[in-house]
Amino acid sequence: MDIAVIGSGMAGLATARILKDAGHNITIFEALPGRGMDSHSTEFEGGLIDAPLRVMNPHLWKNTLSLATYLGIQTYPVRTYMACSWLFEDKTETWLTTTRTRIGNFPIINNRKGIKQYGWRLVKGMLQLKTAISQFFKSENQEITLAEFINQNDIEEVFWHGAVMPVLYTICTCNPKTIGDWPAKPLLTFLRQLTDGDALLRMQGGTPALVDKLIQGIEIRSGSAITHVKQQGDKVQVENSAGETYQFDRAVIATPTNKIDTFLDQAQFKDDIDLLKQFKFEQGQLVIHTDTSVMPPKRKDWAVLSYMMDRKFTRQQFTVWLNAVEPSLVGKNPVFQTWRPVTEIDPKKIISSVTLTRAVVNSETVALNKQLQERHKQPDRKVFYCGSWSCDGLPILESAVTSAMNIAEIFGAPLPFVGLKPKVEVAPQLGY
């Protein structure tokens, strides 16, 4: 069939690749001048800045890494050190730094102040969390929110709010005020894997390398914002801002649902629009910069992940030190990504500021997803929807790939990449 894929984020590109390899003719439409998936990636002193930086746990990003392996992309392990610092005081104080054991890759405290002042509380919290997670997965009711899980378990505050929640903010890149509404299960699965010592993986060449492979041999019309989609007989008519009209057998819409009413035919797709508009999204700023004030005051305390917070845990920010995980930035000036900064970043040191949109994940969206999948089963359906918003759990990459796999199932397309293990190379020299 001739199939239009609207949107070139991860969901759209994965859908296009799977359906192309199944023998269909695919055309991708992207409103931006380039590719949506890597539209924010840029160069810095000859190196690559991935925005946002993507590193993946091989268990939780299983389908994403399997797809990368299928495409011939290799990965390398990343050792995720972290540092936690108190903010909004006379001076910034780093109260915790960690490293990982050479054997087993388990996180350990490696600064004297952290051990002396907080060591027993952190160890206590770790044991409490492991026990609570174990009990959770043995329980009959696993359909609770993260907030409910927290309320049901007495976990040491400094450990939970000072060391665990910042990590969840990192992988979810969402508003701390809404993360409590998330289903607990996927987040606790992540934490269980994290404490079991699994290393994170990064793709060689970053996101641009993945996008290059995903679109290989597929026509992509960039700078082609879609203005109208409607069904005409047994075809789907697609119109763009240039006034061009195309006819397809099917269309897959892989854009955030808060944009669909700008191009879906209001009369034909009223029920779809009413359902999809109920999905909620939130936005935040990712600032890419060279301002070292977001890192611990002492250079020896710098880590891949720098978390800063007040002592009441009401304000927090996290920063990724890119040189520590991207080989092409080794030897370059320090460059950082800070999510929703609460401290002022020197404007002269900002490379770019990117607005990221993330789906709000809660019990309502879980129910909406079930309705959407039922709607997809309608026998006369020719327009389908996918995106990181359309799956339960982590809404970053893996949910997007999973949503593409759901579309593949509808089309009867094979999934030859499922179950492939990542090709892990020896870790390159990184800028620790």
For 218-240, the pLDDT digits (tens) are: 999 999 899 999 999 999 999 99
d(CA 70, CA 414): 13
For 256-267, the pLDDT digits (tens) are: 888 898 999 999
Reported confidence tier of residue 173, pLDDT bands at 50, 70, 90: low
d(CA 85, CA 294): 10
d(CA 418, CA 64): 9
Q: Is the pLDDT of residue 140 over 70?
A: yes
- Taking domain 2-40+205-279+361-424, whether its CATH number is 3.50.50.60 is answered by yes
Residue type, 70: Y
Report which of 146, 208, 150, 214 is spatially closest to residue 182, judged by C-alpha positions: 146
Q: What pLDDT score does 198 carry?
A: 57
d(CA 180, CA 184): 8
Check whether the bond before 52 is cis (ω within 30° of 0). Answer: yes
d(CA 295, CA 303): 8
User: What is the CATH code of the structural domain delimited by 44-204+282-359?
Assistant: 3.90.660
Q: What pLDDT score does 18 carry?
A: 98
Reading the block at residue 389, the tokens are 């918003």
- Say what the pTM is: 0.89
d(CA 133, CA 123): 15
Contacts of 275 (CB under 8 A, 6+ apart): 368, 371, 372, 375
Write down the domain spans for the chain: 2-40+205-279+361-424, 44-204+282-359
For 389-401, the pLDDT digits (tens) are: 876 656 578 889 9
Would you say 226 and 240 are in contact if contact means Cβ atoms under 8 Å apart? yes
**Chain centroid to CA 93: how far?**
30
Q: What pLDDT score does 107 carry?
A: 56
What's the 3-state SS for the chain?
CEEEEECCCHHHHHHHHHHHHCCCEEEEECCCCCCCCCCCCEEECCEEECCCCCCECCCCCHHHHHHHHHCCCEEEEECCCEEEEECCCCCCEEEEEEEECCCCCCEEECCHHHHHHHHHHHHHHHHHHHHHHHHHHHCCCCCCEHHHHHHHCCCCHHHHHHHHHHHHHHHHCCCCCCHHHCEHHHHHHHHHHHHCCCCEEEECCHHHHHHHHHCCCCEEECCCCEEEEEEECCEEEEEECCCCEEEECEEEECCCHHHHHHCECCCCCHHHHHHHCCCCEEEEEEEEECCHHHCCCCHHHCCCEEEEECCCCCCEEEEEEHHHCCHHHCCCCCCEEEECCCCCCCHHHEEEEEEEEEECCCHHHHHHHHHHHHHCCCCCCCEEECCHHHCCCCCCCHHHHHHHHHHHHHHCCCCCCCCCCCEECCCCCCCC
For 174-218, the pLDDT digits (tens) are: 666 778 888 888 888 878 876 665 568 899 999 999 999 999 999
Would you say 214 and 417 are in contact if contact means Cβ atoms under 8 Å apart? no
Q: What pLDDT score does 414 carry?
A: 96
Q: Is the pLDDT of residue 270 over 80?
A: yes
d(CA 75, CA 423): 6
Would you say 146 and 179 are in contact if contact means Cβ atoms under 8 Å apart? yes
